Structure 1
């Protein structure tokens, strides 16, 4: 089955180095002390701390820098996934089919989709360069609102800047990322089309199997 991911599609469009940055990397020096991530801070401050810690962790791990997928996946699980609301991301990607799934199927789908995103994020992190930078743009929304968009631009030497937006939701635990936009392409919308196609072909269980087959 051909099940191209959001990030695989973007890789062809904007290149792997910028894509790694788009997933949450900023220009932080290797070896810097790990920043405290405060999910209840201002949206820009929260996202910047997560981004800095992720990049520092990759730079500090020789095997991750060499592109070892297992090491990179471990770093993604530790430094990125805790700040992503995978339940909401999966629910929105599944759309109306989410309500048709049993509780067990919903749990299995969240786990399968989490694995898919970890794998694709890890693939992007294998191409980090010292010249990749991310600039957080001035925050335009209300930091006290329940939903916010943090806008950034990604810069790479000899390449045009790329606009990346992160959509965050205020939860009881603070801010959580649940969607990503790269140059007008939203992750959830992209996967919603793919999920619907697979569910129509082979049902919820078929979608879960297809995602797990890519692990």
Structure 2
């Protein structure tokens, strides 16, 4: 059903991510120094626009996951006096090399929420901080948000 309706797939994936990701905190980290001058609403708007852009780019790849794929948790490491946690995993596909994927969690109230995903040592937050820093040197945050929403600006690999 999802292959025939990519928008429905993106909506489903987003609904699953909402409860496990700290999207505003991730957005602040991606914005870096630009977050200091952003309003709380702009940070939320950027978080939503970034999530939608990432889903447009990557959600379809979920349809191609090999059913024989195995995910194992290798370790978990508490950080910052137990306020953060790094969980290391290995994804092993039937055809292909294992992939190291680490998840960075932050304690927020009673919940642990993901704020960064690190694939083979490459941080999603750092990658997009570099990309959007370039954009924000020449455009306002509102222009970047509008560009993400319209598709004029998209996340790069």
What TM-score, normalized to structure 2?
0.86
Higher helix residue share: 1
Is 1:114 the equivalent of 2:51? yes
Indicate the SS of the match to 2:115.
strand
In structure 2, runs of 5+ residues without a counterpart are none
Q: 1:176 aligns with which of 110, 113, 118?
A: 113
Is 1:92 the equivalent of 2:25? no
CA 1:67–1:185 in structure 2 vs 1: closer, same or farther (change >3 Å)? farther
Looking at structure 2, the residues matched to 97 and 205 of structure 1 have their Cα atoms a distance apart, in angstroms, of 12
What is the correspondence of 1:1-215 to structure 2 with a 5 Å cutoff? 63-64=1-2, 66=3, 68-141=5-78, 145-214=82-151
CA 1:183–1:107 in structure 2 vs 1: closer, same or farther (change >3 Å)? same
CA 1:199–1:140 in structure 2 vs 1: closer, same or farther (change >3 Å)? closer
Looking at structure 1, the residues matched to 91 and 68 of structure 2 have their Cα atoms a distance apart, in angstroms, of 11
In structure 1, runs of 5+ residues without a counterpart are 1-62
Indicate the SS of the match to 1:87.
helix
Higher strand residue share: 2
How many residue pairs match? The answer is 151
RMSD: 1.9
CA 1:107–1:140 in structure 2 vs 1: closer, same or farther (change >3 Å)? closer
1:91-121 per-position Cα deviation (integer Å, ceiling 9, x unaligned): 0000010111233322321221121233234
What TM-score, normalized to structure 1?
0.64
1:137-159 per-position Cα deviation (integer Å, ceiling 9, x unaligned): 133437x8110011100111231
Indicate the SS of the match to 2:97.
strand
- Structure 1 residue 67: deviation in Å? 5.8
Looking at structure 2, the residues matched to 190 and 103 of structure 1 have their Cα atoms a distance apart, in angstroms, of 22
